[in-house]
């Protein structure tokens, strides 16, 4: 049966289109769209980014920060007492201080007076509520004064009492007892300072 020319040449006309599709498929399809340039590692690294400016620091204050009016009252009482009774340098009372070390005795006396005067000033501030308001300071001030009393009696340590010195056979033992008592008083003084200083 005779067929017309369209039937003979139809497949031949489709051949270039099929070849083009096959060629494009083999080569990966249509050409890719141009991509955006990738950022370089150096541009994205934290070191290369401009740092944000540091927040402005608060202006330094010459006054120590206080947390409450009570703290201001305590500090004022302690400073006034320290000014009235200078010389509470308990580092002069070393463990090997002799029994009649007058410098150690003077420093201990000054510390006892500062503690007592601080307590007195705070009690005058509010006589009815002083124990409630200033309890920690009053307790530690009392401990310093108790320590000083231990150094006066029964052994007259560092010239703090007019009582006669122990006899020579007991002198070394008395010095040891006084050194321990002075060390304890220094510790009590340090605790007292932690309650009154900012």
How far is the C-alpha of 57 from the C-alpha of 74, rounded, in Å? 30
pLDDT tops 60 at residue 31: no
CB 191 within 8 A of CB 146: no
CA pair distance 193, 75, nearest whole angstrom: 10
Per-residue pLDDT tens digits for 127-156: 999 999 999 999 999 999 999 999 998 888
Structure tokens at 74: 């305590």
Sequence-separated (6 or more) residues with CB below 8 Å from residue 162: 156
- Where is mean pLDDT largest: 8-17, 61-70, 85-94, 131-140? 131-140
The rounded distance, in Å, linking the Cα atoms of 182 and 10 is 121
Q: What is the pTM of this model?
A: 0.65
pLDDT value for 144? 97
Backbone φ and ψ for 57, nearest 5 degrees, come out as -80, 150
Spatial CB neighbours of 138, under 8 Å, sequence gap ≥ 6: 119, 122, 123, 130, 131
Higher-pLDDT residue of 15, 97: 97
Residue 96: closest CA among 158, 179, 186: 179
**Are 192 and 113 in contact, with CB atoms under 8 Å apart?**
no
Residue 53 has pLDDT above 90, yes or no: no
- From the number of C-beta atoms within 10 Å of its C-beta (0-12, 13-18, 19+), residue 64 rates as exposed
Token couple for 72:
């201001």
Cα separation of 148 and 156, whole Å?
11
Asked if the model's pLDDT at residue 123 lies above 50, the reply is: yes
SS3 content of the chain, % helix, strand, coil (to 5): 60, 0, 40
Residue 149 neighbours by CB distance under 10 Å: 13
Q: What is the pLDDT of residues 41-52, one digit of tens each?
A: 444 444 445 555
pLDDT band at 95 (very low <50, low <70, confident <90, very high): confident
Rounded to an integer, what is the distance from CA 99 to the centroid of its chain? 39
- pLDDT category, 65, cuts 50, 70, 90? low
d(CA 57, CA 70): 28
């Amino acid at each position: 049966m005779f067929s017309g020319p369209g039937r003979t040449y139809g497949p031949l006309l489709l051949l270039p289109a099929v070849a083009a599709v096959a060629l494009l498929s083999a080569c990966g399809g249509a050409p890719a769209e141009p991509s955006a340039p990738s950022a370089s590692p150096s541009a994205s690294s934290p070191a290369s980014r401009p740092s944000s400016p540091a927040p402005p620091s608060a202006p330094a204050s010459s006054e120590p920060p206080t947390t409450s009016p009570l703290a201001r009252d305590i500090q004022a009482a302690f400073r006034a007492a320290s000014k009235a009774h200078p010389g509470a340098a308990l580092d002069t009372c070393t463990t090997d201080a002799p029994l009649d070390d007058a410098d150690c005795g003077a420093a201990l006396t000054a510390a006892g007076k500062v503690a007592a005067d601080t307590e007195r000033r705070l009690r005058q501030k509010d006589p009815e509520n002083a124990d409630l308001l200033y309890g920690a300071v009053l307790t530690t001030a009392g401990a310093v004064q108790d320590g000083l009393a231990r150094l006066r009696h029964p052994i007259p340590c560092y010239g703090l009492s007019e009582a006669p010195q122990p006899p020579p056979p007991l002198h070394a033992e008395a010095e040891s007892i006084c050194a321990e008592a002075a060390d304890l008083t220094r510790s009590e003084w340090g605790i007292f300072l932690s309650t009154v200083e900012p």
